[in-house]
């Protein structure tokens, strides 16, 4: 690597603007020095030959970084004009939905892919480019900055001092005796003092200069964490509907865990039961109209032994828990969340086998709507067979009975009723408020006798091994941000050149604070308070 030797004897890397040791300008510089990176040699400002140099220089530019931020910002805003695909009803086709709801604007919104903007390739690319910019920007600056601050000498070049924003030159009587008082005050204010031939460098808060780089590291860690989400196995996101009384394998746990829904509780705010302060609010929306609690009382089981196909799993109880919104059940990195529910789903229906003429009943059957029996024996020669069962009944396009789903929303049955006087049996099609006798007049009918219902709870199953990485990234980011924002790097140079005393001061920000501090330090001393050379010029 080529090098530049300063007259003070220090050898600087090529591209250095201000000597790392004494601060003497090695190039043409403005009257007031640009101290942003201590005039150190940044790669991006020094080399521009190869492709690598050009890419490096492109991404190391703050201008490019800011443009990337602004483009991402505008793109993100566009994504909020209409709801994203994940927030529209899952049953409708997005192509139709956007046009139907939002007209031709909606049509274009969909056509341009804005309905799924945040997972589009170009949005991801923007985030990735910001990541690259973060790394290169930081490396381009932090290494030379570290060198410069590490190599700085107490005694500075005269030019360096008089080109600081805060500067004074005066003749001080009795310098040797006056100095200790100032040094003492500086020390009390937290400055670390270095002395060389009667010259002083007082410095504090240098660590705040590293704040930006620390917070950029935090952001990179965070982005890596977010990327790991795409690695299989890092991330489980499943959902399950579970009925009261049911024991079900928890999806995403590979058959390891099972869950029993003991009961689902739904509560609302009722006027009489709530305290005085809430009455007005409840009046406005209506008593019983505002949800108070969604809760599933569950028991978590773990499978004992290995999985054998076709065999009932052996289960061991792990714990009982009440899952509520904001209170997920956590176990073994898994978390189960309350997300949805359905009240009063049909559980079973009962029917009397009845003589249509006399209304006499010959026994009652109860059909479990999830796992119905094939045959119900009522004794004395009476029995009922269940020929077909449609849990969610409708007539399909051919006019045949069919089922939409396995959920008993609208159950219908084809019963075959046997009696001593009807040994061959009579067929009856029974649905809610509807009976069809396909083979003519029957003597018997299945009379509806009642139904049992239960609640169903929807839970989301999550396991996310990226969370701790995101947590670390976020923490590092905050530390870096606070480090950079809430502390300042301040330096005060006091130097005697011939008969003159030169005082210069620098801070990376909050000049107002530095000036007030200097006033306190130089107050009642023979030293002349440094003057803001920016004021003088304007």
Partner 1 sequence: MVQLSSTLLYVAFVLYLVATFFFGGAIRPKKREGVNRWATLGIFVTIVGFLAQLGYFITRWIAAGHAPVSNLFEFTTFFGMMIVGAFIVIYFIYKTSLLGLFALPIAILVIAYASMFPREISPLIPALQSDWLHIHVITAAVGEAILAISFAAALIYLIRVVDQSKASQRTFWLEFVLFFLISTLGFVIVTTSFRVAGYEATFEWIDKNGQQSEMVYHMPALVGPHEGVLKTEGRMEPFVDMPAIINARKLNTVIWSLFAGGVLYGLLRLFLRKRIAAALQPLVKNVNLDVVDEISYRSVAIGFPIFTLGALIFAMIWAQIAWTRFWGWDPKEVWALITWLFYAAFLHLRLSKGWHGERSAWLAVIGFAIIMFNLVVVNLVIAGLHSYAAS
CB of 532 to partner 1, least distance (A): 8
Q: What are φ and ψ of residue 453, in 5° steps?
A: -125, 165
Is residue 65 close enough to count as binding partner 1 by CB under 8 A?
yes
Residues 10-39 touching partner 1, rule: CB under 8 A, are 36
Residue 271 φ/ψ, nearest 5 degrees: -55, -45
The span of 66-74, 175-183, 311-319, 420-428 binding partner 1 (CB under 8 A) equals 66-74
Residue 294, Cα to own-chain centre: how many angstroms? 24
Q: How far apart are CA 518 and CA 505, in angstroms?
A: 9
Across 171-327, where does the E strand assignment appear? 192-196, 199-204, 235-243, 247-249, 257-268, 291-304, 314-324
> The tokens 């059940």 sit on which residue?
329
Q: Among residues 55, 70, 125, 343, which is the contact residue for partner 1, using CB under 8 A?
A: 70
Dist CA 130 CA 137 (whole Å): 10
Give me the residues paired with residue 395 across strands. Answer: 401
Asked whether the beta carbons of 366 and 451 are under 8 A apart, the reply is no
Q: Decide whether 128 or 291 has the Cβ nearer to partner 1.
A: 291
Collapse the DSSP code of 521 into the 3-class scheme (helix H, G, I; strand E, B; otherwise coil) and give the result: helix
Residue 102 vs 448, nearer CB to partner 1: 102
Q: Which helix (H) or strand (E) segment is 501 a member of? A: strand 500-507
Minimum separation from the CB atom of position 100 to partner 1 (A): 8
The piece of 23-31, 176-184, 325-333, 354-362 that touches partner 1 (CB under 8 A) is 325-333
Q: Is 73 near partner 1 (CB under 8 A)?
A: yes
Alpha-carbon gap, residue 184 to 10, rounded angstroms:
31
End-to-end CA distance of the chain: 42
485 binds partner 1 (CB under 8 A): yes
Residue 332, token pair as written in the block: 């073994």
Tokens 């009587």 -> residue = 173
Helix (H, G, I), strand (E, B) or coil at 222: helix
Helix 511-522 × helix 175-188 angle, to 10°: 130
Smaller CB separation from partner 1, 144 or 408: 144
Q: Pick one of 13, 79, 113, 251: the residue that binds partner 1 (CB under 8 A).
A: 79
The CA dihedral of 270, 274, 277, 281, to the nearest 10 degrees, is -10
Looking at 1, 28, 51, 87, which residue binds partner 1 (CB under 8 A)? 87
Whichever of 118 and 389 has its CB closer to partner 1, that residue is 118
66 lies in the binding site for partner 1 (CB under 8 A): yes
Least distance to partner 1, CB of residue 247, Å: 23
Site membership for partner 1, residue 69 (CB under 8 A): yes
Residue 118 near partner 1 by CB under 8 A: yes
Indicate whether 1 belongs to the interface with partner 1 (CB under 8 A).
no
CB-nearer residue toward partner 1: 75 or 447:
75
**Three-class SS state of 472:** helix
In this structure, the strands spanning 314-324 and 422-431 are unpaired
Q: What angle do helix axes 211-228 and 121-151 make, rounded to 10 degrees? A: 150
Minimum Å gap between C-beta 273 and partner 1 is 10
Question: Which residues between 90 and 109 bind partner 1 (CB under 8 A)?
Answer: 101-103
CA angle 170, 506, 47 (to 5 degrees): 125
Determine, following the binding rule CB under 8 A, whether residue 477 of this chain makes contact with partner 1: yes
In the complex, least distance from residue 124 CB atom to partner 1, rounded to whole angstroms: 13
**Sole residue written with tokens 């929303």:** 409
- Does residue 84 touch partner 1 according to CB under 8 A? yes
Question: 294 or 522, CB closer to partner 1?
Answer: 294
Task: Measure the CA–CA gap between 69 and 24, rounded to whole angstroms.
Answer: 36
Of 490-529, binders to partner 1 (CB under 8 A) are: 509-512
Give the three-state DSSP class for 66. Answer: helix
Based on the shown chain and the rule CB under 8 A, indicate whether residue 131 belongs to the binding site for partner 1: no
Tell me the site size for partner 1, rule CB under 8 A.
63
Residue 291 in contact with partner 1, rule: CB under 8 A: yes
535 binds partner 1 (CB under 8 A): yes
Q: How far is CA 268 from the centre of its chain?
A: 30
The window from 23-31, 149-157, 291-299, 376-384 that contacts partner 1 (CB under 8 A) reads: 291-299
Round to whole Å and give the CA distance between 23 and 8: 10
In the complex with partner 1, which residue's Cβ is closer, 167 or 413?
Answer: 167
Q: Token pair for residue 336? A: 């189960």
Residue 465 near partner 1 by CB under 8 A = no
What is the rounded distance in angstroms from the CA atom of residue 246 to the CA atom of residue 314? 16
> By CB under 8 A, is residue 290 in contact with partner 1?
yes
Which of 108, 207, 278, 468 is the binder for partner 1 (CB under 8 A)?
278
Per-residue interface string for the shown chain with partner 1, residues 329-358, x marking contact by CB under 8 A: ------x-x-x-------------------
| Neighbouring C-beta atoms of residue 198, cutoff 10 Å | 13
The mark string for 394-433 relative to partner 1 (x by CB under 8 A, - otherwise) is: ----------------------------------------
Interface residue list for partner 1 (CB under 8 A): 36, 62-63, 65-66, 69-70, 72-73, 76-77, 79-84, 86-87, 101-103, 118, 212, 269, 274-278, 280-282, 284, 290-294, 324-326, 328, 335, 337, 339, 460, 462, 467, 470, 474, 477-478, 481-482, 485-486, 509-512, 534-535
């Amino acid at each position: 690597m080529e090098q530049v030797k300063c007259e003070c004897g220090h050898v600087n890397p090529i591209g250095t603007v201000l000597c790392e040791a004494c601060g003497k300008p090695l190039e043409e510089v403005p009257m007031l020095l640009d101290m942003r990176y201590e005039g150190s040699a940044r790669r991006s400002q020094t080399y521009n030959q190869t492709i690598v140099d050009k890419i490096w220089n492109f991404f190391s530019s703050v201008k490019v970084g800011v443009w990337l931020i602004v483009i991402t910002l505008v793109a993100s805003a566009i994504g909020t004009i209409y709801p994203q695909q994940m927030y529209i009803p899952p049953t409708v086709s997005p192509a139709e939905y956007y046009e139907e709801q939002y007209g031709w604007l909606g049509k274009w919104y969909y056509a341009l892919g804005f309905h799924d903007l945040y997972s589009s390739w170009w949005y991801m690319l923007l985030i990735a480019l910001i990541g690259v910019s973060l790394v290169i920007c930081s490396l381009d600056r932090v290494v030379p900055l570290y060198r410069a601050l590490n190599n700085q000498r107490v005694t500075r070049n005269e030019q360096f001092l008089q080109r600081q924003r805060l500067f004074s030159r005066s003749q001080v009587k009795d310098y040797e005796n006056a100095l200790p008082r100032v040094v003492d005050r500086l020390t009390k204010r937290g400055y670390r003092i270095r002395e060389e031939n009667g010259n002083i460098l007082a410095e504090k808060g240098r660590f705040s200069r590293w704040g930006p780089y620390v917070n950029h590291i935090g952001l990179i860690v965070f982005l890596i964490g977010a990327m790991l989400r795409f690695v299989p196995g890092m991330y489980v996101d499943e959902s399950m509907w579970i009925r009261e009384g049911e024991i079900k394998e928890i999806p995403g746990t590979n058959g390891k865990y099972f869950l029993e829904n003991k009961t689902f509780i739904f509560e609302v705010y009722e006027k009489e039961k709530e305290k005085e302060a809430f009455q007005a609010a409840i009046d406005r929306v209506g008593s019983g109209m505002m949800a108070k609690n969604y809760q599933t009382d569950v028991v978590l089981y773990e499978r004992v032994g290995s999985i054998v196909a076709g065999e009932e799993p052996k289960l061991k109880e792990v714990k009982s828990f009440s899952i509520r919104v904001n209170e997920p059940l956590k176990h073994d990195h898994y978390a189960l969340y309350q997300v949805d529910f359905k009240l009063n789903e049909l559980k079973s229906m009962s029917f009397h086998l009845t003589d249509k003429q006399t209304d006499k009943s010959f026994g009652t059957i109860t059909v479990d709507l999830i796992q119905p029996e094939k045959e119900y024996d009522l004794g004395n020669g009476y029995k009922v067979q269940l020929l077909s069962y449609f849990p969610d009944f409708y007539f399909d396009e051919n006019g045949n009975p069919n089922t939409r789903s396995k959920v008993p929303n609208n159950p219908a049955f084809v019963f075959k009723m046997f009696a001593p006087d009807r040994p061959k049996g009579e067929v009856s099609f029974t649905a809610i408020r509807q009976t069809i006798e396909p083979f003519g007049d029957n003597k018997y009918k299945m009379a509806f006798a009642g139904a049992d219902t239960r609640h169903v709870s929807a839970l989301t199953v999550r396991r996310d091994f990226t969370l701790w990485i995101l947590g670390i990234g976020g923490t590092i980011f905050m530390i870096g941000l606070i480090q950079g924002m809430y502390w300042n790097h301040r330096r005060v140079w006091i130097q005697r050149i011939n008969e003159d005393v030169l005082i210069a001061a620098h801070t990376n920000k909050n000049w107002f604070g530095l000036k007030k501090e200097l006033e306190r330090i130089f107050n009642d001393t023979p030293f002349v308070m440094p003057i803001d050379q920016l004021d003088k010029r304007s």
